[in-house]
């Protein structure tokens, strides 16, 4: 009788331990899924920003090739380098 009672406690403890491990695994899987989704969204945003930067760079290069004077300010042509002693 005592052996059966001990076996019941051990079985209950093992079942509770297994249930705890299952709940922790599901919780971790949910966290990993959320992190994966956030990372995918951040990747999409970064790619969109990179595409916008490239488009702006291309537009700037196209404008500069049509109007080279934009590349350098007229004030820069008249400015002289400072002397070493200054």
Kindly tell me if the per-residue pLDDT of 9 is higher than 60. yes
| pLDDT tens sequence across 33-84 | 999 999 999 999 999 999 999 999 888 887 776 665 555 665 655 555 555 5
Kindly tell me if the per-residue pLDDT of 6 is higher than 90. yes
Contact 70, 63 (CB under 8 A): yes
pTM of the model: 0.54
Longest pairwise C-alpha distance within the chain? 105
Query: Domain coordinates of the chain in residue numbers?
Result: 20-48
């Amino acid at each position: 009788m005592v052996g059966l009672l001990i076996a019941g406690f051990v079985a209950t403890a093992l079942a509770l331990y297994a249930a705890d491990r299952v709940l922790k695994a599901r919780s971790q899987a949910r966290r990993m899924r959320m992190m994966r989704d956030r990372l995918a969204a951040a990747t999409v945003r970064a790619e969109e920003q990179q595409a916008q930067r490239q488009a702006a760079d291309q537009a700037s290069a196209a404008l500069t090739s049509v109007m080279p004077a934009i590349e350098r300010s007229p004030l820069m042509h008249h400015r002289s380098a400072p002397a070493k002693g200054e």
